[in-house]
Amino acid sequence: MSSYSLPVPVCAICGQDNPDVARFCLACGAALGVDEAAPQEERRFISVLFVDLVGFTARAERLDPEDVRAILTPYHETVRREIESFGGVVEKFVGDAVMSVFGAPTAYGDDAERAVRAALAVRDSVRELNDGDARLDLQIRIAVNTGEALVSLGARPSMGESMVAGDVVNTASRLQQAAPVNGIIVGEETYASTRGAIQYEAMPPLEVKGKAAVVPAWIATAALVAAGERTISHAPLVGRGRELGVLHGIWERVADERTPTLVTIIGEPGVGKTRLGIEFGRVVGELGGRSVRGRSLPYRDSSAYGAFAAQVKQFCGIFESDSIEVGLQKLRDAVTQLLGTPESEEVAGHLAILLGLDREASVADRETLFFSVRVFIEAVARDRPTMLVFEDVHWADRSLLDLVELLAARLRDLPILLLALARPELLDARPGWGGGLPAYTALPLDQLKESEARELAAQLLGSSADDGRADQVALLAETAEGNPLFIEQLAATLAEAAPGQDTQLPTTIRGIVAARLDALPPAERALLLDAAVGGKVFWRGALERMTDDPENLSELLGALEGRDLIRRQSVSAIEGDQQFIFKHVLIRDVAYDLLPRAGRRERHAEVAAFLEEATSETGEAAAALARHWRDAGESGRAIERFLTAAEEAERGWAKDRAVAFYREALELLPEDDADRRNAVKRRLAIAHTAAYHALDARLLQLDDE
Q: SS3 sequence, 203-244?
A: CCCECCCCCCCCECCEEEEEECCCCCCCCCCCCCCCCCHHHH
Identify the pLDDT of residue 27.
60
Three-point CA angle 444, 450, 451, nearest 5°: 110
Identify the pLDDT of residue 464.
46
Phi, then psi, of 332 in degrees rounded to 5: -65, -40
pLDDT at 315 over 90: yes
Is residue 492 included in any domain, yes or no? no
Task: Report the phi/psi class of residue 99: left, alpha or beta, with left for phi > 0 and alpha for psi in -120 to 50.
Answer: beta
Lowest mean pLDDT among 85-94, 396-405, 554-563: 85-94
Is residue 473 included in any domain, yes or no? no
Phi, then psi, of 140 in degrees rounded to 5: -135, 160
Is residue 264 included in any domain, yes or no? yes
Q: Could you tell me the pLDDT band of residue 240, with boundaries at 50, 70 and 90?
A: very high
Instruction: State which of 444, 459, 484 marks the end of a domain.
Output: 444
Q: Could you tell me the pLDDT band of residue 36, with boundaries at 50, 70 and 90?
A: very low
Query: CA-CA distances (angstroms) from residue 292 to 416, 441, 667?
Result: 11, 19, 61
The terminus-to-terminus CA distance of the chain in angstroms comes to: 47
pLDDT at 699 over 60: no
Domain count, the chain: 3
Is residue 536 included in any domain, yes or no? no
Average pLDDT, the chain: 87
| 132 and 263 co-located in one domain | no
Instruction: Evaluate whether 289 touches 384 at the Cβ level (below 8 Å).
Output: yes
Residue 415 preceded by cis peptide, ω within 30: no
pLDDT at 400 over 50: yes
Contacts of 561 (CB under 8 A, 6+ apart): 567, 568, 580
Q: Could you tell me the pLDDT band of residue 658, with boundaries at 50, 70 and 90?
A: confident
Identify the pLDDT of residue 67.
82
Is residue 204 included in any domain, yes or no? yes
Task: Report the phi/psi class of residue 293: left, alpha or beta, with left for phi > 0 and alpha for psi in -120 to 50.
Answer: beta
**DSSP characters over 354-366:** HHTS-SS---S-H
Q: How far apart are CA 289 and CA 386, in angstroms?
A: 6
State pLDDT tens for residues 76-98: 999 999 999 999 999 888 778 89
Instruction: Evaluate whether 23 touches 33 at the Cβ level (below 8 Å).
Output: yes
Q: How far apart are CA 490 and CA 481, in angstroms?
A: 11
| 287 and 418 co-located in one domain | yes
pLDDT at 704 over 70: no
| 209 and 273 co-located in one domain | no
Q: How far apart are CA 48 and CA 562, in angstroms?
A: 35
Query: CA-CA distances (angstroms) from residue 593 to 428, 533, 600?
Result: 26, 10, 9
Q: How far apart are CA 705 and CA 703, in angstroms?
A: 5
Is residue 67 included in any domain, yes or no? yes
- Number of alpha helices (DSSP H) and beta strands (DSSP E) in the chain: 27, 16
Q: How far apart are CA 648 and CA 640, in angstroms?
A: 12
State pLDDT tens for residues 587-607: 999 999 999 999 999 999 999
CATH number at residue 151: 3.30.70.1230
More confident residue, 251 or 196: 251
> Average pLDDT, stretch 223-245?
85
**Residues forming a β-bridge with 158:** none
More confident residue, 68 or 568: 568
Identify the pLDDT of residue 278.
94
Identify the pLDDT of residue 37.
44
Crossing angle of helices 344-355 and 306-316, in 10° steps, is 130
| 170 and 265 co-located in one domain | no
| 186 and 323 co-located in one domain | no
| 108 and 177 co-located in one domain | yes
Closest by alpha carbon to 511, among 104, 142, 119?
104
Other beta carbons within 10 Å of 619: 14
Phi, then psi, of 340 in degrees rounded to 5: 60, 30
Identify the pLDDT of residue 233.
73
**Residues forming a β-bridge with 51:** 98, 142
Share of residues in the chain with pLDDT > 70 (%)? 89
Lowest mean pLDDT among 10-19, 198-207, 504-513: 10-19
> Average pLDDT, stretch 162-167?
88
Q: How far apart are CA 154 and CA 164, in angstroms?
A: 11
Identify the pLDDT of residue 33.
59
| 285 and 426 co-located in one domain | yes
Lowest mean pLDDT among 54-58, 70-74, 90-94: 54-58
Contacts of 340 (CB under 8 A, 6+ apart): none
More confident residue, 152 or 387: 387
Phi, then psi, of 298 in degrees rounded to 5: -85, -10
| 205 and 338 co-located in one domain | no
CATH number at residue 252: 3.40.50.300
| 180 and 103 co-located in one domain | yes
Instruction: State which of 444, 462, 477 marks the end of a domain.
Output: 444
Q: How far apart are CA 568 and CA 562, in angstroms?
A: 11
**For residues 498-510, b (16+ Cβ closer than 10 Å) or e, as one string?**
eeeeeeebbbbbb
pLDDT at 186 over 80: yes
Closest by alpha carbon to 162, among 151, 173, 146, 176?
151
| 346 and 274 co-located in one domain | yes
Identify the pLDDT of residue 697.
47
Instruction: Evaluate whether 80 touches 90 at the Cβ level (below 8 Å).
Output: yes
pTM: 0.81
Identify the pLDDT of residue 660.
85
The one-letter amino acid code at 448 reads: L
- Give the 3-state secondary structure of residue 276: helix
Instruction: State which of 444, 460, 478 marks the end of a domain.
Output: 444
Closest by alpha carbon to 351, among 367, 339, 326, 369?
369
**For residues 15-53, b (16+ Cβ closer than 10 Å) or e, as one string?**
eeebeeeeeebeeeebbbebbbbbbebbbbbbbbbbbbb
**DSSP characters over 90-134:** EEEEETTEEEEEESSSS--S-HHHHHHHHHHHHHHHHHHHHHH-T
Instruction: Evaluate whether 125 touches 78 at the Cβ level (below 8 Å).
Output: yes
Q: How far apart are CA 249 and CA 152, in angstroms?
A: 52
Contacts of 566 (CB under 8 A, 6+ apart): 528, 531, 557, 560, 580, 581, 582, 583
Is residue 651 included in any domain, yes or no? yes
| 192 and 299 co-located in one domain | no
Is residue 16 included in any domain, yes or no? no
Identify the pLDDT of residue 170.
92
Q: Could you tell me the pLDDT band of residue 11, with boundaries at 50, 70 and 90?
A: low
* Range with the largest mean pLDDT of 105-109, 324-328, 653-657: 324-328
The one-letter amino acid code at 162 reads: S
| 258 and 206 co-located in one domain | no
Share of residues in the chain with pLDDT > 90 (%)? 54
Phi, then psi, of 31 in degrees rounded to 5: -65, 135
Q: Which domain holds residue 684?
A: 615-705
